[in-house]
Amino acid sequence: MTTRILLTGGTGQLGRNLALALQELGKMKVPARAEFDLASPTSMRRMLDEWRPGLIVNAAAYTAVDRAESEPELALAVNGAAPAAMAGWAARNDAAIVHYSTDYVFDGAAPRAYREDDKTGPISVYGASKLTGEAAVRDSGADHLIIRTSWLYAAQGQNFLHTILRLARERETLCIVDDQTGAPTSAQWLARISARIIAKPPFAGDRSGVLHAAAAGSVSWHGFACAIVERARARGWPVKVETISPIPTSGYPTPAARPRNSVLDLDRLGRVYGIVPTPWREQLDAALDRIAPSMEG
Ligand SMILES: NC(=O)c1ccc[n+]([C@@H]2O[C@H](COP(=O)([O-])OP(=O)(O)OC[C@H]3O[C@@H](n4cnc5c(N)ncnc54)[C@H](OP(=O)(O)O)[C@@H]3O)[C@@H](O)[C@H]2O)c1
C-alpha cells in the first residue's frame, strides 16, 4: 500500500526541497499554513483526521531566532506543542513522524563536536522551544526520528548565503562574526539524504531517536562569508566588497544568544544510515550552481 505522507513547512527552505525529494516515496500532501497551522491544534487535528498520513514529516518551525525572545509563547506553541500534537496523533494512529531540530538545543560550550546523546542546554528561547518539541516527539510512543541539523541555507529563500551575496554587491567592507563555528548545510542536501533515510522505515529500535545530519567540516561565519565572496568573484558575479573583517560575537549584538560551537558529530549518520556527509564547501558550490542562472541571466 502507498504511504500517505503529510509534509509541513512546504514553503520553507527545507520543506521546499523535501517536497521534491520525497515525491517518489508516497502520496504526499503539503498543506499551506492556512490549512494546517501549527499554532492551531484544531486545524492540525482536522487535517490529520481527514488525510490520515502513515508518515508525518515536520519541516515547519518557528525559526525567527531573535524574534522568539519577544514571542516565547508563539515559539513554544509552534516548536513545542505542535510537534507534541502531531507525534501524539501518530502514536494513536500507528503512524510515524520525522521531525527536524537544531544545534541550538546545545549551549555551544563543548570543546568538540556534539554527539546525539550529549547534554542539551539551550541558551535562547528558540533553542528551548525546539528542545521541548524534541522531548515531546521522543516521549510520544510513536515510531520517530528527530533529525538535528545546523546552519541551514538554500538556493532560494532568506538566508546567510543570500545576505552575503547582496552585501558583497553593495558594500566595500563587511564585518562578520568569527567566534561562532558550525557546518553550513544545504537544504537540498539535507532533503536528499532525508529521502534516503525515510525510504527505509521503520523508525524504531536502533533507527529511532535523535540523528545529527549536517555538512562535513566546520567553519566560522566569517570563514563562510569569505568562501561565498571568493566563489562569487571567481564566477564573475558583481562583487564590490574589498575587506571582510572578522569580529567577535560581542561586536554584533543580537536579542538571542547563539552557541559558540554548533558543530555536530556525524558518526551515527554513517554508522547506522550509511550516509557520508558532503563537505560544506561542496554543498556551497552546488547551491551556487543553482543560483547561477539568476545571477548570470
Ligand atoms: N534555518 C536554520 O539555520 C536551521 C538550523 C538548524 C535547524 N533548523 C531546523 O530545520 C527545520 C527547517 O528550517 P527552515 O530553515 O527550512 O525553516 P524556514 O525556511 O524558516 O521555514 C519554516 C517553515 O515553517 C512554516 N511555519 C512557520 N510557522 C508555521 C505555523 N504556525 N503553521 C504552519 N507552518 C508554519 C513556514 O511557513 P510560512 O511560509 O507560512 O511562514 C515555513 O514553511 C526547522 O525545524 C528548523 O528549526 C533550521
In tens, the pLDDT along 9-27 reads 999 999 999 999 999 999 9
Q: Cα separation of 186 and 17, whole Å?
A: 10
Give the residues across from 212 on adjacent strands: 148
Q: With contact defined as beta carbons under 8 Å apart, do 60 and 20 qualify?
A: no
Q: Is 285 domain-assigned?
A: no
Q: Return the CATH number at 54.
A: 3.40.50.720
Of 7, 8, 14, the residue with max ligand 1 atoms within 8 A of its CB, to mutate for a pocket test, comes to 14
Q: Is 220 domain-assigned?
A: no
Of 152, 156, 211, the residue with max ligand 1 atoms within 8 A of its CB, to mutate for a pocket test, comes to 152
Binding pocket residue ranges, ligand 1, CB within 6 Å: 8-9, 11-15, 33, 37-39, 59-63, 78, 100, 102, 130, 149-152, 157, 187
Which amino acid residue places its CA nearest to atom 7 of ligand 1?
102
Q: Which atom of ligand 1 is nearest to the CA of 157?
A: 19
Residues 231-248: what's their mean pLDDT? 97
**Ligand 1 centroid distance, CA of 10 (Å):** 9
* CA distances to 45, 170, 245 from 15, in Å: 20, 30, 34
Residue in 126, 153, 252, 273 annotated catalytic = 126
Q: How confident is the model at residue 297 (pLDDT cuts 50, 70, 90)?
A: low
Task: Please name the residue that has the C-alpha cell 547561477.
Answer: 292
Q: Cα separation of 69 and 193, whole Å?
A: 32
pLDDT by residue (tens digit) across 133-190?
Answer: 999 999 999 999 999 999 999 998 889 999 999 999 999 999 999 999 999 999 999 9
Q: Is 295 domain-assigned?
A: no
Q: Which atom of ligand 1 is nearest to the CA of 103?
A: 6
Give the residues across from 97 on adjacent strands: 56, 144
248 phi/psi in degrees, rounded to 5: -80, 165
Q: Which atom of ligand 1 is nearest to the CA of 60?
A: 24
pLDDT by residue (tens digit) across 75-133?
Answer: 999 999 999 999 999 999 999 999 999 999 999 999 999 999 999 999 999 999 999 99
Q: Looking at residue 295, what is its pLDDT?
A: 82
The per-residue pLDDT of the chain, averaged, comes to 96
Q: Cα separation of 35 and 33, whole Å?
A: 5
Q: How confident is the model at residue 49 (pLDDT cuts 50, 70, 90)?
A: very high
Q: With contact defined as beta carbons under 8 Å apart, do 93 and 113 qualify?
A: no
Q: Looking at residue 20, what is its pLDDT?
A: 97
Q: With contact defined as beta carbons under 8 Å apart, do 60 and 107 qualify?
A: no
**202 has a pLDDT exceeding 80:** yes
Residues 63-84: what's their mean pLDDT? 98
> How many domains does the structure of the chain reveal?
1
Which is nearest to 240 in space by CA: 168, 166, 161, 163?
168
Cβ neighbours of 239 (radius 10 Å): 17
- How is 81-141 classified by DSSP, letter by letter? IHHHHHHHHHHHTT-EEEEEEEGGGS-S--SSPBPTTSPP---SHHHHHHHHHHHHHHTT-
Active site residue 252: no
DSSP assigned state of 113: P
Query: 53 lies in which domain range?
Result: 4-152+185-215+263-277
Residues 197-223: what's their mean pLDDT? 95
**What share of the chain has pLDDT > 90, as a percent?**
95
Q: How confident is the model at residue 1 (pLDDT cuts 50, 70, 90)?
A: low
